[in-house]
Homo-oligomer: A and B are copies of this chain.
Amino acid sequence: MPRVLSKELKNHIGKKVELWGRLYSLRELSNELAFVNIQDRSGLVQFVFEGIKIDAKVGSIIKASGVVKKEERAAMGVEVMGESIEIIESPKEELPFDISKKTLKVELSTLLDHRPLTIRHETIRSIFNVYDTVLNAYNEVMRDMDFKEIKTPKTSGAASEGGANFFTLEYFDKKAYLTQSPQLYKQICVGAFERVFEIGPAFRAERHFTSRHVNEYISLDAEFGFIKGYEDIMEMLTKVIKHIFKKIEEKNQKDLELYKAELPKIPEKIPAIKLQEMKKIIKEKYGYEMSKDTDIDPQGEVYAGQYAKEKFNSDFIFLTHYPKRKRPFYTMLDDENPEETKSFDLLYKGIEISTGSQRIHNYDNLIKSMKDFKVNPADFEHYLHAFKYAMPPHGGWGMGSERIVYKLLNLGSVKEAVLFPRDVKRLHP
């Protein structure tokens, strides 16, 4: 009998079907009556077995047949009157914890240590259903806007943007680094393709122990030329954000419901406030003062998010004009106040999900800025080549893909939105 997916069952009411999947949960009311949830790649469906002894362990890989019945109360709108169940593969042991419960109540460390099992839980699968949509939506919207997809190297002979937060590598007889971002490469590519995007890993050797950091993440990057100013970049990023959530709305209703997650409010134009002004507002409105030396701290970001919600009914806010010393050497300075930059962070529910700026495109200005930042131009020979031979005005962003899902689903940690997260202590599984 050909296989039918659980999501297709509603088209087979009254017919006999065969499902392939996992025996997700088993409730035997008597020897005469058993309720079995079967999970396949499209979801979960209940089989009702009457007068048939179920001789299969929870977690088994099975093929089950039965007749589809309409059942309004069921999640799929159907249930299946089971006729047979064939075991393909059985678990060797009892599962170390029950993953058939509606919610998976385990500590974060257990959740991550047992990733091969915990990702089988319906609620955890939902996280990665949403993540899958984020990846594809980013790919779609960037191509719609005529960006070319590039893949740049993750190993490099030079520490990408300077600074100290990179992992070092033995590369044959040389020393190499893992790139912290595709920044320099994507800028070089603007000189050839004008509009480029990349979806790829970024590596940060930062000793963070927070719920919002991992040491390896998937960065959604974009860089493009012929901009008039950093506002063009924020406008483009707004389109991207809108498309991503539109796609999630279309594809992930069931996943959102499991988390009681609400789609964000995104105004036509996301509000943008200068960082210094935001700090003043936070002090006045929430009595929270940050030192002049910090750009903004996590608590400040939370208040900025709260302000955006209260004042603009927006889950997003751009903070702009970060101080020069808080941004890398390639960031373009503001024309009116050269201590500030043409830069922004995008906050979603009070957390930074994206960072961008207009970049310096003039060769002489770039050299000047490097010297000002005590960065040695000789270390950036190839990068500088692109500028020596003329670059258009340009800019772009990097965006943490996992943070979008983390905040949308109100997860406890961004690590829950990564299949196999890496942190200071975690290199397994």
**Interface of A toward B, CB cutoff 8 Å:** 3, 20-22, 40-42, 59-61, 88-93, 95, 114-117, 119-120, 124-125, 128-129, 131-132, 135-136, 139, 143, 146, 148-158, 167-172, 174, 176, 178, 185, 188-189, 191-195, 199-201, 203, 205, 207, 215-216, 218, 226, 361-364, 381-383, 385-386, 388-393, 401, 418-422, 424, 427-429
Expressed in whole angstroms, the Cα–Cα distance for A381 and B427 within the complex equals 13
Expressed in whole angstroms, the Cα–Cα distance for A94 and B382 within the complex equals 16
Instruction: Provide the main secondary structure of the chain A interface.
Output: mixed
Expressed in whole angstroms, the Cα–Cα distance for A88 and B226 within the complex equals 10
Q: A41-B194, A192-B125, A216-B154 are in contact. Are A382 and B115 (CB under 8 A)?
A: yes
Q: A139-B136, A139-B139, A422-B155 are in contact. Are A193 and B125 (CB under 8 A)?
A: yes
Inter-chain contact B216/A153, CB cutoff 8 Å: yes
Determine which residue in A135, A192, A362 has the highest number of CB atoms from chain B within 10 A of its CB, and name it.
A192
Inter-chain contact B148/A393, CB cutoff 8 Å: no
Inter-chain contact B216/A420, CB cutoff 8 Å: no
Inter-chain contact B117/A428, CB cutoff 8 Å: no
Which residues of chain B are within 8 angstroms of A116 by Cβ–Cβ distance? 188, 191-192, 382-383, 385-386, 389
Complex partner residue of A200 from B148, B200, B363, B391, CB under 8 angstroms:
B200
Inter-chain contact B120/A192, CB cutoff 8 Å: yes
Which residues of chain B are within 8 angstroms of A148 by Cβ–Cβ distance? 41, 128-129, 132
Inter-chain contact A382/B170, CB cutoff 8 Å: no
Complex partner residue of A91 from B389, B401, B420, CB under 8 angstroms:
B389
Inter-chain contact A201/B385, CB cutoff 8 Å: no
Inter-chain contact A91/B388, CB cutoff 8 Å: yes
Q: In the complex, which residue of chain B has the Cβ closest to the Cβ of A214?
A: B153
Which residues of chain B are within 8 angstroms of A132 by Cβ–Cβ distance? 148-150
Inter-chain contact B154/A362, CB cutoff 8 Å: no
Inter-chain contact A89/B362, CB cutoff 8 Å: yes
Expressed in whole angstroms, the Cα–Cα distance for A429 and B381 within the complex equals 8
Inter-chain contact B129/A188, CB cutoff 8 Å: no
Inter-chain contact B427/A155, CB cutoff 8 Å: yes
Inter-chain contact A154/B154, CB cutoff 8 Å: yes
Inter-chain contact B385/A117, CB cutoff 8 Å: yes
Which residues of chain B are within 8 angstroms of A90 by Cβ–Cβ distance? 390
Q: A88-B393, A89-B361, A115-B382 are in contact. Are A427 and B157 (CB under 8 A)?
A: yes
Expressed in whole angstroms, the Cα–Cα distance for A317 and B245 within the complex equals 43
Expressed in whole angstroms, the Cα–Cα distance for A169 and B170 within the complex equals 6
Which residues of chain B are within 8 angstroms of A136 by Cβ–Cβ distance? 139, 143, 149
Inter-chain contact A169/B169, CB cutoff 8 Å: yes
Inter-chain contact B389/A226, CB cutoff 8 Å: no
Q: In the complex, which residue of chain B has the Cβ closest to the Cβ of A224?
A: B41
Complex partner residue of A428 from B129, B157, B193, CB under 8 angstroms:
B157
Which residues of chain B are within 8 angstroms of A143 by Cβ–Cβ distance? 136
Q: A61-B390, A117-B389, A125-B192 are in contact. Are A419 and B152 (CB under 8 A)?
A: yes
Which residues of chain B are within 8 angstroms of A382 by Cβ–Cβ distance? 115-116, 428-429
Q: A188-B429, A427-B171 are in contact. Are A389 and B203 (CB under 8 A)?
A: no
Q: In the complex, which residue of chain B has the Cβ closest to the Cβ of A188?
A: B116
